Amino acid sequence: MEQLYTVNQLAEELGITPRALRFYEVKGLLSPNRLGNNRVYTKRDRARLKLILRGKRLGFSLAEIREYLDLYNVDGGVEQLKVLQKRIDARLKDLEQQRQDLEATVGELREIGAQVQAALDERGLASKSA
């Protein structure tokens, strides 16, 4: 018999709340089976959830994750891999731009901080922050 997971087992194993599981169900990303009144998850559901959580951690939207998951059984996964590669390239481009923006902001703040410190030094005042 296939291993089944309860809501609490799966949530605990993956470090999320049962409410988060329900959220992904409502969004149509997971569709657990029923055993009486209880929702139960298969190994396939567990694998899908791991992909969902990984996608979220990497900054992909739920729509992008859904598109990726929906392509799983199409043409042996070739289209799924192509879509994933396209999404990865776009995400990397966005992150590189964010990194450049952050580096520019940090540089500007350091420059302003140095100017403020110089103004304080000119007036013979010590800086309160270090």
Q: What is the mean pLDDT of residues 65-83?
A: 80
Q: Who has greater pLDDT, 126 or 56? A: 56
Q: Who has greater pLDDT, 14 or 71? A: 14
Query: Which of the listed residues 31, 59, 87 is the one where a domain comes to its end?
Result: 59
pLDDT for 125: 79
Are 29 and 75 within one domain? Answer: no
Are 50 and 20 within one domain? Answer: yes
Query: Which of the listed residues 25, 59, 93 is the one where a domain comes to its end?
Result: 59
Q: What is the mean pLDDT of residues 85-103?
A: 95
Kindly state whether residue 64 falls inside one of the protein's structural domains: no
Kindly state whether residue 65 falls inside one of the protein's structural domains: no
Query: Which of the listed residues 11, 31, 59 is the one where a domain comes to its end?
Result: 59
Q: What is the mean pLDDT of residues 107-111?
A: 97
Are 12 and 51 within one domain? Answer: yes
pLDDT averaged over the chain? Answer: 90
Are 20 and 75 within one domain? Answer: no
Are 78 and 116 within one domain? Answer: yes
Write out the DSSP string of the chain.
----EEHHHHHHHHT--HHHHHHHHHTTS---EEETTEEEE-HHHHHHHHHHHHHHHTT--HHHHHHHHHTTTGGGGHHHHHHHHHHHHHHHHHHHHHHHHHHHHHHHHHHHHHHHHHHHHHTT---S--
Are 79 and 125 within one domain? Answer: yes
Kindly state whether residue 79 falls inside one of the protein's structural domains: yes
Are 5 and 45 within one domain? Answer: yes
Q: What is the mean pLDDT of residues 42-63?
A: 93
Domain CATH code at residue 49: 1.10.1660.10
Residue 130: is its pLDDT beyond 60?
no
Residue 12: is its pLDDT beyond 60?
yes
Task: Identify the band that residue 1 occupies on the pLDDT scale cut at 50, 70 and 90.
Answer: low
Task: Identify the band that residue 128 occupies on the pLDDT scale cut at 50, 70 and 90.
Answer: low
For residue 88, the enclosing domain spans: 71-130
Kindly state whether residue 25 falls inside one of the protein's structural domains: yes
Residue 74: is its pLDDT beyond 80?
no
